[in-house]
């Protein structure tokens, strides 16, 4: 018969072959679920068991060489949980007692009546279903463990190769799997090549060929999974004709069933995961659901790593091309050692990047600044986030002193460990771009004042006098004088306009909070969320940057509070707050949420709140996060100047 997941495979051991055949025939007539194999002795029975796929053993008691109970003892050494029914013509309380003491699953005495086979079939069915139920419960516990272990591994992985290695290792170590591998599909050659594998045994991959075309080598689970982008299983490797190209190699290694899982995210195929089990029909509904979910999770992890690589490349470019000087340090024996610096830092001091990396930061300070760094606890204050902005003087290779404004903050590893600092140096040796703009604006204001006061006022007096003269006498000279005055007025207006346009444009302007909030809310996908403005004020700010603050906070609220989140904007004595009714931010995380790269969610990027902090600092404001009135997150922005 053709085996299915519902088939009950029975081994009947009896030293009378005719009776064994009779029992097999009668059991298979009782139910089409039964597939009965026979053996004439305990040794022959062990040979059948060694081939696998037996769900229950039925054995006679009185057999030569080894009786039924001795056979049971041998079976239990290899299969401790396999149902074993002692079916004997020798019935006595002594035999029954011995059987129960030996751990037999059930005991049934042979009878001449036809009902005995129905009774035997019922006993076998009950015993097998109990074991299967127990295995199913254990399987569910195993599935939960595998899912948890894989998810933890994915969270720790930073490269695709790490994901491949850890997933294969975890699955190959989990029952009933014996082997796992991840392959790469080559669309050009329409083949699947192994990328990583683990288990028993990896030489299998060298003995097989898998394609995704129309050949027989494309009919297995792997080829079907690649083509359909859905889970594909092979439940019965020994009998399924589609597995012909690989059957011998698989059976030699004990592979009885297999499954292939496409690793897909957003229509991108990142690979295909293959697992092999040591029994047929190993992939029940729960197992298939596990693998399908893992495929989606792994695909998402690949996508996350791809995005992180893109962000890292972008960040590296921004870091390297930044017009200000950046340095990353690592703490070694309490002192800052330069781990990386950007081009601006190295070139300003007359070095190449490679010359600076691995050297003490203090080597590039004047003696006074080095004392502030080390003896004055400047570095320790930076590590503890107490450092704000201070002047430091660097020394270039040629001895030139470079006066800078230093901004430093803690630097942490992926695990949150404090490893050093980020340091930004703004060169103010000649004057900062701001000390230049202010002085330029002062000069332009002074020029405008001269134009307005020293030129316009005398001109107004002259024009007034000319009007009086015109009332007292008539002269051909009056009109040219009036035209000259108009010309002077036009010149003054043009010069005033030139002065105003030449002044640096400030970033701050009156911005109505209510109007800005409404516009920002419309720009963000907020689902069924609601926003309420309880602050009817106008602030002085860079409007485009203020909008970015609100939009980032709205996205943060929706991301953590869901589509139905409620957001409130309220007034503070020197600023405003934005709070939501979402899950809030734990106390331990509130100091870290503004760090670049920090994020709580699989889906989870980690820059939104960091951008908010940078914008706030650019305005010389302050920001903090506390618990809101509804238990959610409340972001308070203070130091704000209101427009009167």
Please tell me the distance from the alpha carbon of residue 126 to that of residue 319, in angstroms, as a whole number: 69
Task: Report the pLDDT averaged over residues 178-182.
Answer: 93
| Residue 618 · residue 545 · CB < 8 Å | yes
When pLDDT is cut at 50, 70 and 90, the band that residue 501 belongs to is very low
Please indicate, yes or no, if residue 66 is contained in any of the structural domains. yes
Please indicate, yes or no, if residue 630 is contained in any of the structural domains. yes
405 and 463 housed in the same domain: no
pTM exceeding 0.85: no
Mean pLDDT of the chain: 84
426 and 446 housed in the same domain: no
- Quick one: tokens of 275? 């697992």
Please tell me the distance from the alpha carbon of residue 225 to that of residue 578, in angstroms, as a whole number: 48
Please indicate, yes or no, if residue 1 is contained in any of the structural domains. no
CATH number at residue 276: 3.30.450.40
pLDDT digits (tens, 9 = 90+) for 298-356: 999 898 888 877 776 666 676 677 778 889 999 999 899 999 888 889 999 999 878 99
Which of 502, 522, 546 is the C-terminal boundary of a domain?
502
Q: State the virtual CA torsion across 50, 54, 55, 57 in degrees, nearest 10.
A: -80
419 and 454 housed in the same domain: no
For the chain, percent of residues with pLDDT exceeding 90: 35
132 and 184 housed in the same domain: no
CATH number at residue 70: 3.40.50.2300
pLDDT of residue 445: 62
- Decide which of 583 and 145 is more confident: 583
245 and 358 housed in the same domain: no
Please tell me the distance from the alpha carbon of residue 362 to that of residue 351, in angstroms, as a whole number: 15
Lowest mean pLDDT among 52-61, 94-103, 167-176, 619-628: 94-103
Instruction: Please count the structural domains in the chain.
Output: 5
Please indicate, yes or no, if residue 597 is contained in any of the structural domains. yes
| Residue 95 · residue 68 · CB < 8 Å | no
CATH number at residue 328: 3.30.450.20
370 and 411 housed in the same domain: yes
pLDDT digits (tens, 9 = 90+) for 1-54: 556 668 889 999 998 888 888 888 888 888 888 989 999 998 899 988 887 778
pLDDT digits (tens, 9 = 90+) for 611-643: 788 788 878 889 999 999 989 999 999 999 888
- What is the domain extent for residue 176? 157-309
Please tell me whether residue 441 adopts helix, strand or coil conformation.
helix
DSSP 267-299: TEEEEEEEEEESSTT---HHHHHHHHHHHHHHH
DSSP 450-503: IIIIIIIHHHHHHHHHHHHHHHH---TTHHHHHHHHHHHHHHHHHHHHHHHHHS
Task: Report the pLDDT averaged over residues 526-544.
Answer: 90
292 and 161 housed in the same domain: yes
- Whether the per-residue pLDDT at 503 is higher than 50: the answer is no
Which of 286, 309, 332 is the C-terminal boundary of a domain?
309
180 and 301 housed in the same domain: yes
- Quick one: tokens of 598? 């920090």
Q: State the virtual CA torsion across 124, 127, 130, 135 in degrees, nearest 10.
A: -90
CATH number at residue 497: 1.10.287
Please indicate, yes or no, if residue 452 is contained in any of the structural domains. yes
303 and 182 housed in the same domain: yes
Task: Report the pLDDT averaged over residues 174-183.
Answer: 90
Please tell me the distance from the alpha carbon of residue 112 to that of residue 447, in angstroms, as a whole number: 125
Please tell me the distance from the alpha carbon of residue 378 to that of residue 357, in angstroms, as a whole number: 21
293 and 386 housed in the same domain: no
pLDDT digits (tens, 9 = 90+) for 58-70: 998 888 878 888 8
When pLDDT is cut at 50, 70 and 90, the band that residue 597 belongs to is low
State the DSSP H helix or E strand holding residue 262, giving kind and residue range, or none if neither: strand 257-265
Which of 430, 456, 488 is the C-terminal boundary of a domain?
430
Please tell me the distance from the alpha carbon of residue 329 to that of residue 424, in angstroms, as a whole number: 11
- Whether the per-residue pLDDT at 365 is higher than 90: the answer is yes
32 and 77 housed in the same domain: yes
- Whether the per-residue pLDDT at 475 is higher than 80: the answer is no
pLDDT of residue 220: 94
556 by Cβ neighbours in 10 Å (0-12 / 13-18 / 19+) ranks as: buried
294 and 327 housed in the same domain: no
């Amino acid at each position: 018969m053709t085996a299915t997941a519902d088939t009950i495979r029975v081994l009947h051991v009896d030293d009378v072959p005719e009776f064994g055949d009779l029992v097999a025939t009668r059991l298979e007539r009782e139910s089409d679920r039964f597939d009965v194999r026979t053996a004439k002795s305990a040794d022959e029975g062990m040979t059948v068991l060694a081939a696998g796929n037996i769900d229950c053993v039925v054995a006679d008691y009185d057999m030569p060489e080894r009786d039924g109970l001795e056979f049971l003892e041998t079976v239990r050494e290899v299969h401790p949980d396999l149902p074993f029914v002692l079916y004997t013509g020798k019935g006595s309380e002594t035999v029954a007692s011995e059987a129960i003491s030996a751990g037999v699953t059930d005991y049934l005495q042979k009878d001449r009546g036809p009902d005995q086979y129905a009774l035997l079939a019922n006993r076998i069915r009950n015993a097998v279903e109990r074991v299967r139920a127990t295995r199913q419960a254990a399987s569910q516990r195993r599935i939960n463990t595998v899912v948890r272990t894989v998810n933890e591994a994915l969270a720790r992985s930073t490269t695709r190769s790490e994901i491949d290695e850890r997933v294969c290792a975890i699955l190959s170590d989990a029952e009933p799997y014996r082997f796992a591998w991840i392959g790469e599909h080559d669309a050009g050659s329409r083949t699947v090549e192994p990328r990583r594998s683990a288990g028993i045994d990896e030489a299998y991959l060298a003995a097989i060929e898998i394609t995704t075309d129309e050949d027989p080598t494309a009919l297995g689970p792997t080829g079907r999974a690649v083509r359909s982008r859905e889970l594909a299983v092979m439940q019965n490797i020994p009998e399924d004709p589609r597995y012909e190209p690989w059957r011998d190699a698989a059976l030699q290694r004990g592979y009885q069933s297999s499954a292939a899982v496409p690793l897909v995210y957003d229509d991108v195929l990142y690979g295909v995961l293959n697992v092999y089990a040591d029994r047929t029909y190993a992939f029940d509904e729960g197992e298939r659901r596990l693998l399908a979910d893992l495929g989606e999770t792994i695909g998402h992890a690949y996508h996350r790593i791809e995005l992180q690589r893109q962000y890292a490349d972008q960040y590296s470019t921004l870091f390297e091309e930044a017009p200000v000087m950046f340095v990353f340090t690592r703490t070694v024996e309490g002192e800052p050692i330069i781990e990386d610096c950007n081009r601006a830092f190295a070139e300003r001091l007359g070095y190449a990047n490679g010359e600076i990396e691995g050297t003490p930061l203090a080597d590039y300070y004047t003696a006074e600044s080095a004392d502030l760094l080390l003896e004055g606890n400047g570095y320790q204050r930076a590590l503890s986030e107490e450092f704000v902005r201070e002047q430091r003087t660097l020394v270039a290779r040629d001895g030139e002193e470079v006066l800078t404004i230093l901004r430093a903050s803690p630097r942490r590893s992926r695990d949150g460990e404090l490893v050093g600092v980020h340091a930004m140096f703004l060169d103010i040796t000649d004057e900062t771009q701001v000390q230049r703009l202010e002085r330029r604006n002062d000069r332009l204001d002074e020029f405008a004042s001269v134009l307005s006061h020293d030129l316009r006022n005398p001109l107004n007096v002259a024009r007034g006098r000319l009007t009086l003269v015109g009332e007292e006498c008539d002269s051909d000279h009056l009109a040219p004088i009036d035209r000259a005055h108009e010309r002077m007025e036009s010149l003054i207006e043009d010069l005033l306009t030139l002065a105003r346009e030449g002044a640096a444009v400030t970033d701050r302007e009156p911005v109505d909070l209510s109007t800005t909030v409404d516009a920002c809310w419309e720009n963000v996908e907020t689902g069924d969320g609601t926003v309420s403005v309880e602050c009817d004020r106008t602030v002085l700010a860079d409007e485009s940057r203020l909008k970015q603050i609100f939009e980032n906070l709205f996205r943060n609220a929706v991301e953590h509070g869901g589509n139905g989140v409620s957001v409130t904007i309220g007034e503070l004595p020197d600023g405003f707050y934005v709070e939501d009714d979402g899950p809030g931010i734990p106390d331990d995380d509130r100091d870290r949420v503004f760090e670049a790269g920090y994020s709580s969610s699989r889906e989870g990027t980690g820059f939104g709140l960091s951008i908010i902090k940078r914008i706030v600092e650019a305005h010389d404001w302050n920001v903090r996060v506390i618990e809101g009135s509804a238990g959610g997150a409340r972001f308070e922005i203070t130091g704000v100047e209101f427009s009167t």
